[in-house]
Amino acid sequence: MNAALKLMTPDAFLDWCQSQEDRWELVDGMPRMMTGATRRHDRIVVNLIADLHSKLRGKPCQPNTADVAALMLHGNVRRPDVTVDCASAPRQIPEQHGADGLFRSAVALDPHHRPDAQGRGVQADADP
């Protein structure tokens, strides 16, 4: 790795993202641009969100789309296709810990799923 390369913190990354048009994730301190999805992938995500929304109605949990960033282990910031946040109150991403409350994520995979901008497949990075 180039010694002149400065790694980003999650807070600096989230501030930087506000001025970006594309969707990005932070992996090991480096911003990584996300690719688009296939129509089939998008249908899977839409169906999953609709099903979760119906099942969680009246409960303290709510589903979110990839527009909501999730702070993962080791300071990575990911945008899973679907997250379910069961925190008791609205929150921002905490600085050092995962989500406050139960937090689960899902990535919809299909046989035609495209790799990320670096040519790698989806990499799991989830809180236990």
- Report how far residue 123's alpha carbon sits from residue 75's, in angstroms, rounded to the nearest whole number: 15
Token pair in block for residue 23: 């969707």
Tell me the sheet residues that pair with 27.
30
Query: Which domains are delineated in the chain?
Result: 10-106 (3.90.1570.10)
Residues in CB range of 12: below 8 A, 6 or more apart: none
- Predicted confidence at residue 43, as pLDDT, reads 92
- Predicted confidence at residue 84, as pLDDT, reads 87
What is the pLDDT tens value at each position of the chain, 128 positions in all?
555 678 999 999 999 988 999 989 999 999 999 988 889 989 999 999 999 999 999 988 888 888 888 888 888 999 888 888 887 544 444 433 334 444 455 555 555 444 444 444 443 444 43
Longest dimension (CA), the chain: 51
Range list of β-strands (E), the chain: 24-27, 30-33, 62-64, 70-71, 77-78, 82-85, 103-106
**Hey, is 49 helix, strand or coil?**
helix
